């Protein structure tokens, strides 16, 4: 089980991360001015699409990925807490229910999202220094 503060702590371990707010006032994380994660509350339309099924509770984190194939591969693993919604169809991002995710999976997901947005030189330096899974 993770919290928004766990996300902030883990994101801060990555190089050159900015912790701020998106245009909607939700907490977000970026590298080199490119957002890779943000807290994503459900809109009324999202909730309506869940129909009689209850939407996942607690804070929801959205993370970017490099491309649709990566998104499909991540979701196919069936990691607890990882999911998507109709609104994200065709968008290179997925969602994580923080109350259902284990910290190692969250750490890896944040790192992958960061790598998808980091400048190539910075990502290469990070990976060259043994960054994966530190």
117, part of any domain:
yes
The SS3 of residue 43 is coil
133, part of any domain:
no
37, part of any domain:
yes
134, part of any domain:
no
29, part of any domain:
yes
CB atoms within 10 A of CB 124: 13
121, part of any domain:
yes
pLDDT at 1: 87
For the chain, 134 residues long, the average pLDDT of each consecutive 10-residue run is 96 97 95 97 92 91 96 97 94 97 97 97 89 56
Q: What is the CATH number of the domain that holds 116?
A: 3.90.1150.30
CB atoms within 10 A of CB 53: 7
Supply 36's token pair: 């890779």
131, part of any domain:
no
Query: pTM of the predicted model, to two decimals?
Result: 0.92
Q: Which domain holds residue 118?
A: 4-126
Supply 23's token pair: 């245009």
Residue found by looking up tokens 């245009």 in the block: 23
The total domain count for the chain is 1
pLDDT at 132: 60
46, part of any domain:
yes
């Amino acid at each position: 089980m993770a919290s928004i503060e766990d996300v902030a702590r883990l994101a801060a371990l990555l190089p050159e991360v900015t912790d701020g707010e998106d245009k909607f006032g939700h907490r977000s994380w970026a590298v080199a001015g490119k957002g890779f994660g943000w807290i994503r509350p459900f809109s009324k339309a999202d909730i309506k699409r869940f129909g009689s099924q209850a939407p996942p509770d607690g804070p929801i984190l959205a993370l970017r990925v490099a491309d649709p194939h990566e998104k499909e591969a991540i979701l196919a693993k069936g990691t607890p807490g990882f999911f998507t919604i109709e609104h994200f169809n065709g968008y290179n991002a997925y969602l994580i229910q923080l109350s259902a995710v284990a910290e190692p999976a969250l750490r890896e997901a944040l790192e992958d999202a960061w790598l998808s947005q980091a400048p190539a030189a910075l990502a290469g330096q990070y990976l060259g220094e043994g960054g994966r899974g530190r």
